[in-house]
Structure 1
Amino acid sequence: MAYIKSKDNEKFKTIKSLLASKKRYKEQKYLAEGLRTVELALEHGADIDMVILREGTEFNLDLEDHKVHTLSRDLFDQVSDTENSQGIMAVVKMMNLSSDDFDPARHKRVLILDRLQDPGNVGTIIRTADAMGFDLICMTKGCVDVYNPKVVRSAMGSSFYMELLIESQEAILSILKGAGLQIVSSSLDTDNYYDEITYADRCALVLGNEANGINDFWVENSDLLVKIPMYGKAESFNVAISGALLMSKMIKRENK
C-alpha cells in the first residue's frame, strides 16, 4: 500500500486530473467515490485501476487484488467530490461502446438521453433503465458527462455494467433506424397518452433536456410522440420521473 502526501507526486496528479472531463476521456478512467459505490464496483467486476483511501480510514473490503494508495487527509480532500466523504474512492476504467458495437439482436430496448444536464437526473435514469431491463443507453453530445462523479454516485452501481454509447444524434438515429427500432419521444405536443399506446417489441425512448425538452431533430424523426397526463397545476414532470413511467410502460408491453 503506497502512502502519498505530496501534491507533486505524479500518481496524485493523475488522480486529481480525473476531476476534469477532458482528462477523464484522455486517460479513459474516472473516479467512483463512496463506500457503497466502491463495494458495487468490486461486486460487479468493474475494471478497477486502483483504490484510494484517506489517511486513517479502514474498511472491511477484500482489496488484495487491487492497487491501494493512501492519500493524506489534505490531498484526499482535494480530489473528493462530496462534503462528508467516507474516505474511499476507486479509479475505474471506462467501458464505452462504439457505433460498430451496436447489436440489433441484443439491443432491443434503447434509451436516448438528449442533452440532459443534471448529473443527479442522469445517474437516476441510468439506474432506472438498468432496473427496467433496458439494453443500451445512448448519450447525445451535449449531455452532462456520464462519468461525472455525481452521475456515477447517483447511478448506484449501474454505471459499472450498463452499456453506454456516446455519439452525435445523427449517428444514433442512423443506427436505430438501420436496426428497425421504433423511436418514441416524450413530448407535450401530442394527443397520445403514454399509457394508451401499444409499443413495438423493439423500441427506443428519447428523453429530452430538463429545460427545453426534446429538440426538433428527435421530434421530426420519431415514429411516435407520447405524453404523460397531468391533473394538477405543475407544468411538467422531472425528467427522471417521466423516464421511469415511460420505461415501465414499455417494458410491460414486451413482458405481456
Structure 2
Amino acid sequence: MFKQITSPQNSFVKELVQLKEKSRLRKKTNTFIIEGLREITLALNGDYEITTILADSSIIYEDDFETLSNLLPAEVEIIEISNDVYKKIALRDSTEGILAVAKGKNLALNNINFKNKTPLILIAEAPEKPGNIGALLRTADAAGVDAVFIANPKTDLYNPNIIRSSVGCVFTTTIATGSTSEIIDFLKENNIQMYGAALTASVEYQTIDYKQATAIIVGTEATGLSNEWLNNTTKNIIIPMRGAIDSMNVSVSAAIIVFEAIRQRNL
C-alpha cells in the first residue's frame, strides 16, 4: 500500500509547486521535478537519482507503472496522488500521470571525462530561451556529440520547460556549465579546436576539418558571440545565407554545423 496525498493544500504538494516554479529553490535544494514516463526513464538511464515518484492512478496505465517500478531502486518513495494534486504540480496534462522528484548533478567542467581523444563538443553562450536550449540538447543527442557546454548560463538546466522542450535529452547528454573564460581555458588545456559561428571574419563552415578534437560555439540570435569568444577561436565560421536575412535560429544553425562535423567523421 502506497502513501496517498489527495489534497492540493498538502504542505509537500505546496513545496513541489514552488520547486517547479522557482529556480532559486531548485538550486538551493539541488532537486527538481520530472514529468512523464519517457523523461523519468531517460533520467534513470542517465544515472540521475530519483527520490520520489508521484503517480495519479486515474491516468497512468498499470503496465507503464509496473515497467517504471522495475527500474526504480528499492529506496525510492512512491506516493499515489489524486488528479487534483497531479494537475496542481504538473506543467502539462499529457505526461501519463507520472511525476518524479530527482537530484541534480554536479555540472562543473572538472567532472568532464571524454571517452575518446577527439571529442566533439557543442557550446552555447548565454542562451536564455528554454525552447532553444531544449532544441540544442535534442540536436546534441541526435548527433551523439560528446558533451554540451553552457557558457554564462542564464537559465538553470532543470527548468521544467527545458526538460519538456528537450524531450528528456537533458538527461542523455553530458553537460557542463561555466563562465566563458573557464570554458576557453578548459578547451585550450585539452587542445580542443574552437570554431565560433559568427558573421564577420569567417570562413564557410563546410571548409573546416572537424575530425580533430573540436568545439562548435554558438551565441544568441540577438547578440551573437561575445568578443571574448571571437578573440579566442581557432577560426570563425559562417553558414552562407541565400535569402534576405543573415541568420537562423540558433538550434538550426548548430544542427547544420554539428551534422557536417559528423558527416566528415564518418567518411
| Partner deviation per Cα, 1:50-98 (whole Å, 9 max, x = no partner) | 2222362222223253422233333322222226554222222222332
Partner of 1:82: 92
1:73 aligns with 2:74: no
TM alignment of 1:153-168, pairs within 5 A:
153-168=164-179
Mean Cα displacement is larger for which, 197-206 or 241-250?
197-206
Structure 2: gaps (5+ residues): none
Instruction: Pick closer, same or farther for the CA change 1:165–1:34 going to 2, 3 Å.
Output: same
Partner of 1:31: 33
CA RMSD of aligned residues (A): 2.3
SS in 2 for 1:205: strand
User: Aligned equivalents of 2:250 and 2:7: distance in 1?
Assistant: 43
Structure 1 runs, 4 residues or longer, greater than 6 Å off: none
1:130 aligns with 2:141: yes
SS in 2 for 1:221: coil
User: Aligned equivalents of 1:47 and 1:149: distance in 2?
Assistant: 17
TM alignment of 1:216-235, pairs within 5 A:
216-235=227-246
Mean Cα displacement is larger for which, 209-218 or 169-178?
209-218
User: Aligned equivalents of 1:57 and 1:84: distance in 2?
Assistant: 9
Partner of 2:259: 248
1:113 aligns with 2:114: no
Partner of 1:3: 4
Q: Would you say the 8 A contact 1:114–1:143 is kept in 2? A: no
User: Aligned equivalents of 2:114 and 2:185: distance in 1?
Assistant: 13
1:47 aligns with 2:45: no
Partner of 2:109: 99
TM alignment of 1:185-224, pairs within 5 A:
185-224=196-235
SS in 1 for 2:79: strand
Percent identity for Structure 1 against Structure 2: 29
1:43, distance to aligned residue in structure 2 (A): 5.1
Q: Would you say the 8 A contact 1:113–1:143 is kept in 2? A: no
| Partner deviation per Cα, 1:136-168 (whole Å, 9 max, x = no partner) | 111122332211112112222322231111111
Q: Would you say the 8 A contact 2:39–2:167 is kept in 1? A: yes
SS in 2 for 1:122: helix
Q: Would you say the 8 A contact 1:96–1:163 is kept in 2? A: no
Q: TM-score, normalised by structure 2?
A: 0.86
Q: How many residues align?
A: 256
Q: Would you say the 8 A contact 2:42–2:172 is kept in 1? A: no
1:14, distance to aligned residue in structure 2 (A): 3.4
Mean Cα displacement is larger for which, 228-237 or 32-41?
32-41
Partner of 1:12: 13
User: Aligned equivalents of 1:83 and 1:57: distance in 2?
Assistant: 10
Q: Which residue identity is paired with 2:86?
A: F
User: Aligned equivalents of 1:206 and 1:69: distance in 2?
Assistant: 43
Instruction: Pick closer, same or farther for the CA change 1:142–1:162 going to 2, 3 Å.
Output: closer
Q: Would you say the 8 A contact 2:60–2:96 is kept in 1? A: no
1:191, distance to aligned residue in structure 2 (A): 4.0
Which of 132, 139, 146 is 2:157 aligned to?
A: 146
User: Aligned equivalents of 1:249 and 1:73: distance in 2?
Assistant: 47
SS in 2 for 1:160: coil
Q: Would you say the 8 A contact 1:123–1:154 is kept in 2? A: yes
1:58 aligns with 2:68: no
1:45, distance to aligned residue in structure 2 (A): 5.0
